[in-house]
Structures are given as structure tokens and as C-alpha cells.
Structure 1
């Protein structure tokens, strides 16, 4: 069984930290006493994040890096060990996307999304695992998406990349088990999250894109990440809706196809015009979005199942009680059980 350090004893590297989930995660780790190394392409975002952490008494540095370049990813891990002496947890959150019908996505755009979202995750593992192995324990936490379980229209490269991340992690997990090395490999799968993602990615829909509501706040994902850095966890779906999506996909993919045919196309469009030529972050970083939250706070809702996932004894007690209740009802309804 993998034993992970308390957060206040950890050195944590967070990739994709200039905005959104990564930024909020860095702040939460720092507030709990971890030493934090943050990385992304936006130097202004990283600098402001480190300054914010230092103002609240935390310890942080930043490394400028594009995750599609292995040497730049390796430099994150190397700098972490050079400055702080070790690496305990690696959080990989960098991602980009193109929202468009498949026929409108160029080969260069499709490849770039895969390079960042999937190959970048593999580079992160290649850079981090040698240091985690040297420590004899640690956590590799990958931020993928509920789209790792169920793809949606207009996001073919993003969905493909997230499916690939799940395959990568499954393979890594079993290889580490075979080696007998207690490193926790976690797949964090957020539902639709209110980050600047939809401001920064490329759209060819003619309008500013949106996730299919409802949204959840980035703090919910950061909470799950910090939790899994202390408690070895295989998979963590963030948001009640994501768990429903996962269940429906397992029960009837055809039913989910029909549902997405109805909501998947209008549900990803706002009424705000946006040109295909508008600035986007697919190939280069863009300025102005170095913040945690996006523009959809009014569409956010709470999630109740996440608390249960972070309290397994209560969760499984509730499942057992529900199962027993169903069994009791069925027994009473079966023939031959009349009073």
C-alpha cells in the first residue's frame, strides 16, 4: 500500500499552473504548507502566481515550459530537485483544444492538441517518475477529463487525447505494481469546470464556446487533487454530473449518443460572436487570462458526491445500506414472502 507524505511535508510540481485548475491547485498546496514549483507557457501568469503564494507566506518558484517539448518538461523536474532536493508529487494539468466540426480541424491543429494533452502527459511521466522512484514513493496526478470516459461532438482532438491519457495511466500503474514501486497514479476527471479554458482555446463555431452546463468551480477539482496527493486514489471523477455521464456511458452508449445529438451541438455555443481568427492558445500563450475562474460563475452548482469520495468509509457504508435496503424490498416483493 502506497504511503504518501502529509501535504506540509511535500514538494509539489504543478504543470499548467498559470490559470484555471492548475493555478487554484498551486494556491491550495501552498496554503497547506507544501513547497510548490509551477510551470506553464505564460510567464506573466507564473510570476503573478508565485508572487501571490509568497505574499501569503508560501514557498514557490516557477519554470517556463511548453509541455510538447520533452527537454522543457524535464527541466521542470530537474529544477524542482535542484532547488528543493526532491519531488514528492507531480500534478499535470496542461491542456488546450479546438472546438470545431472534425472536417474543419487541420492536421496541424489535431496534432498540436495531442502533443500538448497526451504526449505532454507522457513527457511529464518520463520526467517525474525517475525522481519519484528515487524517493521510493510519491504521487503522479494527471488531470484528464470526463471526456476520457465519454467523447463529445465538436471536440474530437480533445476527447481523443483524454481517452489516450486514461490508457497511458493504466499501463503505467500496472508496470509500477510489477516493479513493486509504491507510486500512486491518479486520473482526475473533471466535469465541466468554470476556468478560462473556453476563453483561450480556438473556436471555429462562429461564437465563443462553452461547456455543456452546468459548471463546477475550479476549487472543487483542486480539492480532489490535494486529497489524492495524500490518499492514493486510482480515479476521481469531479462533479456529480460527471459521475452520471460515466454511468450512462457504461449502461447504454447508444442512449448517450442520442442525448448528445440533442444537447451536444447547441449546448457548446454561446450567443457571443467570436471569429476563427481571434487570439487563442493552441500554439502560443495568450495574455489576459491568468486567473482561476472563467466567465460562467452564474452557471455553477455544488457537487455532493465528491465529499463522499473523500470519505470512503461513509461512502461504502451508504452503498451497503442502500444495497441492503433494496434487497429487503425485493425480498418482501418476491412470491412466498407474504406475512
Structure 2
């Protein structure tokens, strides 16, 4: 029976660029967890020191050495290879994960930004390849993994022209490199192009913003750990291209079959997602030209759902793990989310333990204090018209959201209308609201939880179907069916909570 290898053998020597945050840091952790010996590089020496400590603690055979360098400097990149060879004697895998971004129309982005972006995203990869190949050629084998993107590799989106073009250039560079290696007889050296979809990294916090408007990050569909796992597998079983993330294979196929339709959808989706939050913003260079003091995050806090093993166990719904590190003065998302919220009172359980396993969970970091978010949830009109979004009419029975109060509405789904009624079950002002929603389609329990986080609020939504078709399906199916509805709901909640005009508009409706 053929067994599938999940990762390289302990002792594999791996070099990772861009290892201080995002995909690069996740890749370093993933290799270290399998006992690899690493040389990690980025511009931030302090962040690299943290990565080295994380790698050393991940496996009893893992080692790591930090080599601060700017990949746009060919000599500095060569020194990274020299440090790896001096310490370990060889290089088995080289991962080019360093990358930066610029947001703005092509007529808005300064030429210096474009030049710098290409130096990092393209020239940095070129320098990495030149540094890695001599050592790999001497041994007759090796794997080069270059992190590109579906944005530029398969689809196009507005406001990221320079970034998408740089990622498209990597695909061409890799194809040429494969041909040249074949011509030179270096058949033992593999080149893998990684094509991830939207990944939950600090990309939007780190990117330069030249739009003049407040930019809200797109919802992510893949975690950095998922991408890192794909890189680790590519080190064992290299492929020319590896698409990572939900829709990574479907999207290029759809683009090939109906390019105009896909472009129109992406164009509208990008515009509404980027600029859904009102307000202007000053131009910022992000970390494009200089690293900031806080570049060590793996996650960007953008993943729409919280998935943990604890969701399958009895007890309160799970919360993300890890220590909280988000200064109150910061406007960016936290590096990691809180380990656990304050425990709810024992006499008011969130849900019975037997229902926890079937719960689907989503979250969003809202740039508004808890009282503003609660003012939307606790207003029957705002909740009906803006949070749920599809309610055509409403009526209020009781003082919403006091326990027992009800909201009646007509739910429109395409050409059909369904009557529904939502009843408040548990209300802890400013913190927790649990509801039971009944429609002709079925019944579900929904819980909102608010957690203060710096100047904003972490909003978590749990849903458990009680009756109807969804109640008979596995949680994965429920997750797929309700994913976009909940993401849209949380986006509307943020829009109203962050906009005084939006709340007043709802009150007048």
C-alpha cells in the first residue's frame, strides 16, 4: 500500500525569506514542527529572533538561525545562503515568501512605490534563486518554492495592479527557470509556484494605501497555516503549480469559461469590500519602504470563521487561542485573538452542550466600541433592516431585546417571501444577545457575543439549526450554506455601527 508523505524528513535544511510575518512565518513554523533546520530572513531582526525561538520550541530536532537581510540587496541575500551553508552544510529547500503590496489606482500610485514593490516581489525572488541554485547544483537536487498569487496568476482585480503584475511575473520567471534547468541537465532541482487565494495575513495592515479612502480588508478564505502545509508538501512532492484555498481551482476555470462575468463580479466585490466603511484616510507607505515596529503577525484577523477543535467538545463555544497583543491606540487588527473571554454566568448557558458540536461560527473585528455595536443589535428597526439585511417589513412585540421580546418580518429570498419571527432568549447589554429565529424554512438559534478589543469590538456570531433542512446536515454543509449570509451581515453591522449617519438613517426608516 502506498503511503503519502506529509512532510520532509527531520534535518531538512530550509531557507525562508519574508519569515517575520504572514505566510513566511507560518512556513517557518510548519517546517520546524517537522524537525527541519532553518535559516530565516527578513528586514526585522527583532521579529526574526521571535521566529527562531518559536522554531526551536516546535520540535526537539528543529534548529533555526536568523539572518536579517533585505531581499532587494543581492549581496545580502547571498549572505543568507552563506549562513545556511556555514551552519548546516547544504540547502534542501528555498522558499521565497517575501512580498509587499500597494493599494491604489494605477494613476494614483507613486512610481517609487511601484519600483519598490517590484524590487521586493520580483527582484527579491530573482536574488533568492541566484543564491540558492549554486548550492543545489552541487548536490544535484533541491526545491525552490516561489509564493505567487491567483491575483495576477489567474484573475485580475482593481486597486492592486502593481501587486498583481508582480505576481504574474513570478509565474513567467518560474516557467523560464524550469526550462533552463532542464536544458542544463539539473533535473533534480524542482521549481514550485504557489498560487494562494485570499489568505488571512497582515497584508492589508502592511500594504501602502494610496487610495485616499479608508480601506477595509477583504474577507480571507484560507489560513496561513493551510498555505504553509501546502509548501511543506511541495518540498516532498514538488509540482509546477500548487493552488491553495477554497475556489483556487474553480476560479481560474470560471475565468476561462466566462471571463467578462468573473471580472464584473470581482470588480463589484472588490469595490464594495474595500470601501464599504465610510471615511477618508491619509496616504501611507505601510511597510513598503521601511519595516514598522509591529510586523510580526502571522494572522491578519480577517478570517471570517473561527474554526477550532473545541467546537466539537462540550462546553462554551470556542475562542481563538493565543495571547492578546493589540495596543488600544492601534487601528489595525490584532496579531492573535484572545485565549478566552470572561466565563458566562453559570445560570445562563450559551447553548446546551449537546448542541455545541453542530454550531457554525463567524467573527469580525469591528472598528467601533461595543456600545455602538450594541446600539445596532438592541434597536429592533436597525437589527431587522440592516443587520439581517433581507427583512422587508417588521413589527416589534415587547421591548426589544429584553428576553421574550419578538421581531416579526418578511424574509425575501429571490422571488419568494417567507414569514419569520425572532425571539430574544438571553440579553446581557453590551456583551451578549441570544436569539431564536423561526421562518417557514426552519428554526435556528443565533448568538452574538461582543468583546472589547482596543478601540474596536470583536463580534462573534454562533448559529445552530434546530429544525428544517439545515438541522439534518453536517456542520460543514451548514457552514457552506450560511457563509456568505453571515459575512454580509457582519459587514452591514460594521457599516451601521461605525456610521452615525447610518444609525440615524435606520432610525428614520
Q: Is the pair's TM-score, using the shorter chain for normalization, greater than 0.5?
A: yes
What is the correspondence of 1:305-324 to structure 2 with a 5 Å cutoff?
Answer: none
**C-alpha separation between the residues in 1 aligned to 2:64 and 2:209?**
34
Deviation at 1:268, TM superposition (A): 2.6
Q: Tell me which residue corresponds to 2:127.
A: 123
Match of 2:164 in 1: 159
Could you say what secondary structure the match of 1:129 adopts? helix
Equivalent residue for 1:200, pick from 184, 203, 206: 206
Q: Which has the higher helix share?
A: 1
Q: Tell me, which stretches of 5 or more residues in structure 1 are unaligned? A: 303-339
Which residue does the alignment assign to 1:74? 78
Change (3 A) 1:79 1:274: farther
8 Å contact kept, 1:197–1:294: yes
1:141 matches 2:145 = yes
Identify the range of structure 1 (192-201 vs 213-222) with the bigger mean alpha-carbon deviation. 213-222
Shift of 1:164: 0.3
- Aligned residue in 2 for 1:275: 281
What SS does structure 1 have at the residue aligned with 2:215?
strand
- Radius of gyration: which is bigger? 2
Q: How many residues align?
A: 299
Closer, same or farther: CA 281–300 of 1 in aligned 2, 3 Å: farther
Tell me the TM-score normalised to structure 2 length: 0.56
Say if 1:214 and 1:301, in contact at 8 Å, map to a contact too: no
8 A Cα contact 2:28 2:40, kept in partner: yes
- Aligned counterpart, 2:173: 168
d(CA) in 2 for partners of 1:91, 1:263: 31
1:217-239 Cα shifts (integer Å, max 9, x gaps) = 11110000000001121110101
> Higher relative contact order by CA 8 Å / sep ≥ 6: 1 or 2?
1
Alpha-carbon contact 2:220-2:304 (below 8 Å) kept: no
**Where does structure 2 lack aligned partners over 5 or more consecutive residues?**
1-6, 309-509
| Contact preservation (8 Å) 2:157, 2:267 | no
Preserved CA contact (<8 Å) 2:149 2:195: yes
Does the 8 Å contact 1:41/1:64 carry over to 2? yes
C-alpha deviations, 1:131-171, integer Å up to 9, x for none?
Answer: 11111001000011111222211001100100100000000
Q: CA deviation digits over 1:67-87, x for unaligned, max 9?
A: 111111111111111111010
Q: TM-score, normalised by structure 1?
A: 0.83
Aligned positions of 1:26-65 closer than 5 A: 26-56=28-58, 57=60, 58-65=62-69
| Secondary structure of the structure 2 residue equivalent to 1:290 | coil
- The 2-side partners of 1:301 and 1:242 are apart by 20
Paired position in structure 1 for 2:90: 86
- Alpha-carbon distance between aligned partners in 2 of 1:42 and 1:276, rounded to the nearest angstrom: 25
Query: Is the contact between residue 199 and residue 208 of structure 1 (CA under 8 Å) also seen in structure 2?
Result: no
Query: Aligned pair in 2 of structure 1 residues 207, 61: CA closer, same or farther (>3 Å)?
Result: same
Contact map agreement 1:99 1:209 (CA 8 A) in 2: no
Specify which of 227, 237, 242 is matched with residue 243 of structure 2. 237
Instruction: Decide which moves more: 280-289 or 162-171.
Output: 280-289
Q: 1:270 to 1:286 in 2, by over 3 A?
A: farther
Q: Could you tell me which residue of structure 2 aligns to residue 218 of structure 1?
A: 224
User: Are the aligned partners of 2:210 and 2:284 in contact in 1 as well (CA < 8 Å)?
Assistant: no
CA contact (8 A) 2:220 2:302 kept: no
1:197: how far off?
1.2
Structure 1's consecutive aligned runs of 4 or more residues displaced over 4 angstroms after TM superposition are: 299-302
Is the Cα–Cα contact under 8 Å of residues 216 and 277 in structure 2 kept in the other structure? no
* Secondary structure, counterpart of 1:210 in structure 2: coil
Preserved CA contact (<8 Å) 1:191 1:216: yes
Decide whether aligned partners of structure 1 residues 274 and 47 sit closer, same or farther in structure 2, where only a CA change above 3 A counts: farther
